[in-house]
Amino acid sequence: MSQEAHSVVISHSTQQHAELPNLISILAEKFHGSRFAEYLHIWENVIFSVIIAALLSFVAYRATKKAGLVPGRLQGFLEILVSAIDDFVCGILGHHGRKFTPFIGTLFLYILTMNLFGLIPLMKSSTSSLSTTVALAICVFIYVQYTAIKENGVRGYIDHMMGKPRGIIAFTVFIPVLIFAIHLVSELVRPLSLALRLRSNVWAEDALLSVAASFGIAGVPLFIFSMLLTVLSSFIQATVFALLSTIYFALVLPYKEHQGEKG
């Protein structure tokens, strides 16, 4: 085993002490020391993320396969959920914000499901990994910047990022460029701060569950309390990520776009 791979496995093993065992970690232990075990350690969070994506896709497919005017229970539940998310997004961005509902809604459901997945025996919350939450943050950053350019135009986007310099300040060049660089960094830091918050909270919840489970029968009350706390926190963290992501869109949209006018 290479030194780099060995370091990855050691790092992962250290993290495992703060987490409950899952299918991938157990399987990796069975093949301890092999190349296959290395791959499992490295791709563990990606595997669980893909499982969640496949699960949500399957549910959406089942709900829309036989969609009718009189919805079944699954279709009815999802329609209520989508309507609630749409009201949430449009309440911040106005009725023009409906075009962002699919992205924000998917982000919310994906994060929420990943958060809760760790409560299922032998499963894991991928959001306890910084790589997962940073990937989500980068998606938000790219889409927000794309939206800013699309809605304001390239010149409007650059003008906005430079702080809309006018008069003598515009002729200094250095100050607008400096403001542009600072603004760009701040745009990236915003979603990354969400990533750190989400990862830290989910990791802490998993660690608490692991500690409670280590007490055996004596730790059952603490384990139950920790699970209830984790469920509540999972909803809060997913909501906060979706809320602040929506606000980031509001900050780059033209003012008239998110006045909340009805149409």
Per-residue pLDDT reduced to its tens digit, 74-94: 888 888 999 999 999 999 998
Per-residue pLDDT tens digits for 176-215:
788 888 888 888 888 888 899 999 889 888 888 888 877 8
Q: Is the pLDDT of residue 171 over 70?
A: no
Tokens standing for 218? 């004596």
Name the residue with tokens 């701040």: 186
Of 174, 238, 228, 181, the residue nearest 205 (C-alpha):
228
22: β partners: 122
Model-wide pTM > 0.85: no
Cα 192–chain centre separation = 10
How does residue 225 score in pLDDT terms, banded at 50, 70 and 90?
Answer: confident
Specify the pLDDT at position 172: 67
* Phi, psi (rounded to 5 degrees) for 59: -65, -45
* Phi, psi (rounded to 5 degrees) for 22: -130, 175
SS3 per-residue string spanning the chain: CCHHHHHHHHHHHHHHCCCCCEHHHHHHHHCCCCHHHHHHHHHHHHHHHHHHHHHHHHHHHHHHHCCCCCCCHHHHHHHHHHHHHHHHHHHHHCHHHHHHHHHHHHHHHHHHHHHHHCCCCECCCHHHCHHHHHHHHHHHHHHHHHHHHHHHHHHHHHHHHCCCCCCHHHHHCHHHHHHHHHHHHHHHHHHHHHHHHHHHHHHHHHHHHHHHHHCHHHHHHHHHHHHHHHHHHHHHHHHHHHHHHHHHHHHHCCHHHHCCCCC
Rounded to whole angstroms, the Cα distance separating 103 from 200 reads 23
